[in-house]
Amino acid sequence: MKFTDGYWLLREGVTAAHPAEVLDVIEQNGALEIHAPTRPIRSRGDLMTGPVLTIRAHSPMPDVIGLTLTHFTGGTSQGPEFELAEQEATTPHTSYDPEHATLTSGALSVRFARTGPWRVDFVADGRTLTSSGPKSMGIMRDATGAHHLREQLDLRVGTSVYGLGERFGPLVRNGQVVDIWQSDGGTCSEQAYKNVPFFLTDAGYGVFVDHPGKVSFEVASEVVSRAQFSAETQELTYYVIHGPTPKDILRKYTALTGRPALPPAWSFGLWLSTSFTTSYDEETVTSFVDGMRERELPFSVFHFDCFWMREFHWCDFRWDPRVFPDPEGMLARLKAKGLRVSVWINPYIAQRSSLFEEGRALGHLLRRPDGSVWQWDMWQPGMALVDFTSPAARDWYASKLEALLAQGVDCFKTDFGERVPLDVAWSDGSDPERMHNYYTYLYNRTVFDVLRKHRGEEEAVVFGRSATTGSQQFPVHWGGDCEATYESMAESLRGGLSLGLSGFGYWSHDIGGFEGTPSPALFKRWLAFGLLSSHSRLHGSSTYRVPWLFDEESVAVARHFTHLKLRLMPYLYEAARTAHTEGVPMMRAMVLEFPDDPGCAHLERQYMLGPDLLVAPVFSDEGEVTYYVPEGTWTHYLTGRTVTGPRWVREHHDVLSVPLLVRPGAVIPVGAVADRPDYDHAHGVTLRAYGLEEGKRRVVRVGEVAFTVVREGDTLRASCSDPAGPWGLAAGEREVRAPAGTGLLTLEPA
C-alpha cells in the first residue's frame, strides 16, 4: 500500500507519525524495549501527547532478530498466529551506552541510535546489512482512517529481492507491489495461490513479517531504495534473518517456520490424471493404465479428479455410483498393477451434498455473524466452507477421508482453499482478515495429519494448491491453473522458483498446461521440463493428457524423460533429503547456488535441479534456447559435450534433448532401474564423475550408503561405507582408469 505522494508529500487523507528519538531503553529477559516518541522531546510539554511507538527487540534463535512494533496495547489478540518452531534457549547479548542500544544474537546485531536522527541498523560481520532510518518506521492512517504500521528497510545498491511466495511475474521483486492475500487467480496475474510474507536478498539477509493477514509489500516501488511492508494492525512483528548466503537464510527461515516433510520415493514418479472436466469411468481409467503399460511408459500414481464424485455433490467423498459401482474393487485392481491412487478433494461442501446438512447440524460449517451458514453459488451451488478452526470440525472432515483410505486411496489432491470470506464468525473467534490466508494452513495440515496417522510419516503426501507460511511442511505443491502456451510454461517456472526461494522444498505443475489443449510440439517441450521438476504430473482441464493422443513422438519423448528421471532417483532423492533436513529446495533459482555471480541474479528461465544439474527448458517449437553457464567447464549430461563458462550459450535441441548440464567436479549417482522411482537406489548404482580435480575427494550419499570418490591422475577410486552392499565388493573399493584428458569417469557395478 502506498502512503506517499512522491518524495515530499503524503497522499490525500493520509497522516503519518514516525519515531523521532529513543526516550528510554528497558532491558528484560534478553530483550530490549525501546520507547520512541514521534516528536522530539524538548520540554516537559512534549511528553504529554502521543503517539509513542514501542519497539521490542528479541531473538528466537541465533542470527535471527525480531522487532515488534506496537502502538495501542489495549486490544485483544483474536488470532490466528503463525506456528513458529520451538528453538533451543537463545540468550542474546544486550548492551547500551550513551550512543547506542544494541541486541546481538549470533553474528547479527540490531543497533538503535540514542542520539541524533532516528536510526535502526542491522549489522553482521562488520557491515550494515540494512537500516530503518528517519520516516521509515511509522504509524500511518489512510484516507478511511484505517490504522497501519509500516516499516521501510534500506536496499543497498545492486541488492535484489526474491520470494514472497509463488509469484508469476519477474523473479526479482524489485519494482513490484505485492499484496500477501490468497486468491484463485491462475498463473497469469499478480494474484497468487501461495502467499508468504517472507523475502530474501542476495545481500546477506532475509525478512519475515510475522503477520498472517494482509501484508502489503512495496519492494523498491514506493521508495525505490527501500523494501517497504505494512499491515492494518496495532502490532506488527518482523524478523531479520542473517545468512550470509541465500541458502543459509533459507535454512534459518525454515528452522523457524518449519521444514518440509520428506515425500515418499514413489511420489517422484509420473502422476497420470483423468483431467478436470473430462468424462471418465473405470473403462476409461483402465484404457489409460493399460495404454501406458503397452507403450512402456512408467508411471506411479493414478489421480481421479473431481468427477469421481457426483455433480453438485462436492465434496461428499462418495464415488459416483453411476460410473464407479465397485470403487473398492476398482482400487484393488489398480493397486494390483503397482499403482498408488490419488483423489481430488476441497474444503467446500455443496448444498446438495449429504454432508451439508450433517455439517450444519453439528456446527462444523463456517457461519456468518448472525449464526446462519455462510454460502454462495461460486464453484458449487449453495456451497459452504468447513470451519477448520474447530477441532471437532477437523476431526469430522478427517473421518470422511479415513473412509477413503480404508477403501485403498493413498493420497489426496488438496485443491482450492483460497476463496475465504471476511463477513463470517469463526468458531474459535479468529479475526476473519487474519484467517483469510491462514485457512489453507489448517486445511492442508488436517489432511496431511490424516495421512501421517494412517499411512505413516514416510508415506504422507498431498498435492496442494494454496499455501502460506508453514505450509511447506505439508508437501507437495503444484502451480495451479496455467494455460497451454509457452508463455504460461515460463510463468509457471518463475512461480516455482519463487516458491523455492520462499521456503518450499518441492513443486510441480500441469505438464502441457491446464487450460486449453497444447500443440504436440508444446506438449513435448513441456514433458522435458515437467520430468526434470521435483514432481511430475500429466493433467489438464477439458482434454486428456495421455501422450498418444498428441502423436507417437510424444510417447517417445515421455518415455525418454521418464526413464531419465527414474535413473536419476539416487541423485534426486538425496536432493529431496536436503530439502527436508535443511530447507534448501530441490529446484533452485540460479542465484541460490551462485550468489556471487552477478550474471545469475535475474535468471528465471533456467534452474539448478539439486546442487549439480543445470536445466534450461526449451520454450519454442523450433528448439532454440539461450542460457547462461557459470564459471568452469560444464558437461552436457545427455551427450558428454562440454561448455566452459562464464558465458551465454545459444543452442538448438530436438524434442529428445534439453540443456541438462553437470556442474564441474560433481559426482552424479545414477540408478540401475528405469521403470519405477521407489527402488533400492544404492543397489547397482553407477557413479559418474565430471571434471573431478586431481586429488579432489567427494563424498556422495545414496540413502544409508556413503561413497568416497577421489581422482588420482586418470584413475577414479571409490570406497563404499557398505562394502557388501551396492557393488557386492568384499573390499568395498573400486577403481577405473580413463584415457588422459577425459573429464568424465564412470564407476559401474561389477
Catalytic sites, residue numbers: 415, 418, 481
- The bridge status of strand 507-508 relative to strand 477-478 is parallel
Q: 438: left (phi > 0), else alpha (psi -120 to 50), else beta?
A: alpha
Report which DSSP code applies to 731: S
Q: Dihedral (C-alpha) 568, 571, 575, 578: value to the nearest 10 degrees?
A: 150
CA distance 241 to 106: 11
Cα distances from 702 to residues 381, 455, 561, 611, 696, in angstroms, run 51, 24, 22, 15, 19
Grid cell listed for 597? 555471480
Identify the H or E element spanning 58. Answer: strand 52-61
Which set of grid coordinates corresponds to residue 484? Answer: 497451454
SS3 384: strand
Residues in the chain: 750
End-to-end Cα, the chain, rounded Å = 64
Q: How far is CA 664 from CA 333, 629, 630, 661, 696, in A?
A: 47, 11, 10, 9, 12
* Residue 442: DSSP 8-state: H
**Strand 536-538 and strand 510-511: pairing?**
parallel
Structure letter (DSSP) for residue 222: S
Distance CA(497)–CA(105), nearest Å, equals 30
Cα–Cα nearest to 432, from 445, 423, 440, 443: 423
d(CA 39, CA 49): 9
* Distance, CA of 248 to CA of 239 (rounded, Å): 15
For cell 484393488, the residue is: 332
φ, ψ for residue 633 (rounded to 5)?
-100, 110
